[in-house]
């Protein structure tokens, strides 16, 4: 009793919506999308090109995006994908839908701590220090990106969504670092 006229793409598949959202910002190639998952989006969703290219085909087959072939230089072929009106509708519907589930998250390090039973175990402090360094350097990286990408209020207003996402990532890392510091012995 699964399909009642539903499309082949599973309704829980969020990658498709994220791709639609990215293409709505401006037409892009699969390669560009893959870059976005490494950069601005990467803090909150990940996808490799091997997942992206097939999804672009599915979305195009479903009539939600279309592409135009362009050539760079002598013969390097690119496919610029654009949203169709059907795709835009689907995107709007997704954004408007409530998101009532807490996203499950995974943290291997925290679990390792969990399995160490006593507060005095000598392994704890080195582990905390390692994670502190890791998250501290990630925090620095994010902060530097914020400084270069959003040097003034105008830049923020022009890419508010991007600003929000980066701000959230910075806050999250910053708080993680503080939590670690709390259990670190000086």
Partner DNA sequence: TTAAAACATGTAATTAATTACATGTTCGTT
Partner DNA sequence: AACGAACATGTAATTAATTACATGTTTTAA
Contacts (Cβ under 8 Å, ≥6 apart) of 87: 20, 23, 24, 59, 63, 64, 65
Nearby residues of 75 by Cβ (< 8 Å), 6 or more positions away:
none
**Distance (Å) of CA 163 to CA 41, 148, 156, 173:** 11, 12, 6, 15
Of 1 and 111, CB closest to DNA: 1
Q: Site mask, DNA, residues 66-105, x = CB under 7 A?
A: -----xxxxxxxxx------------------------x-
Window 3 to 42, contacts with DNA (CB under 7 A): 9-10, 12-15, 29-32, 34-35
- CA–CA dist 165, 122 (Å, integer): 37
Is the Cβ of residue 25 or residue 144 nearer to its own copies in the bound state? 25
CB of 118 to its own copies, least distance (A): 6
Is residue 54 a contact point for DNA (CB under 7 A)? yes
Give the bridge partners for 78, in sequence order. Answer: 70
76 binds, among its own copies, DNA, none (CB under 5 to 8 A by kind): DNA
Q: Which residues bind DNA (CB under 7 A)?
A: 1-2, 9-10, 12-15, 29-32, 34-35, 46-51, 53-54, 56-57, 71-79, 104, 106
């Amino acid at each position: 009793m699964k399909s009642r006229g539903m499309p082949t793409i599973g309704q829980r598949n969020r990658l498709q919506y994220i791709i639609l959202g990215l293409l709505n910002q401006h037409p892009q190639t699969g390669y560009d999308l893959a870059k976005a998952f490494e950069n601005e989006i990467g803090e909150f969703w990940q996808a490799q090109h091997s997942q992206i290219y097939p999804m672009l085909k599915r979305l195009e087959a479903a009539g939600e995006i279309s592409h135009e072939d362009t050539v760079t230089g002598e013969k390097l072929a690119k496919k610029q994908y654009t949203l169709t009106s059907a795709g835009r509708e689907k995107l709007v519907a997704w954004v408007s839908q409530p998101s009532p589930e807490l996203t499950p998250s995974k943290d291997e390090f925290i679990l390792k701590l969990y399995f160490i039973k006593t507060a005095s175990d000598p392994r704890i402090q080195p582990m905390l220090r390692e994670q502190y360094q890791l998250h501290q350097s990630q925090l620095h990286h994010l902060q530097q990106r914020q400084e270069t990408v959003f040097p003034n209020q105008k830049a923020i207003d022009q890419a508010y969504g991007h600003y929000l996402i980066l701000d959230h990532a910075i806050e999250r890392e910053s708080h993680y670092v503080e939590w670690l510091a709390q259990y670190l012995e000086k």
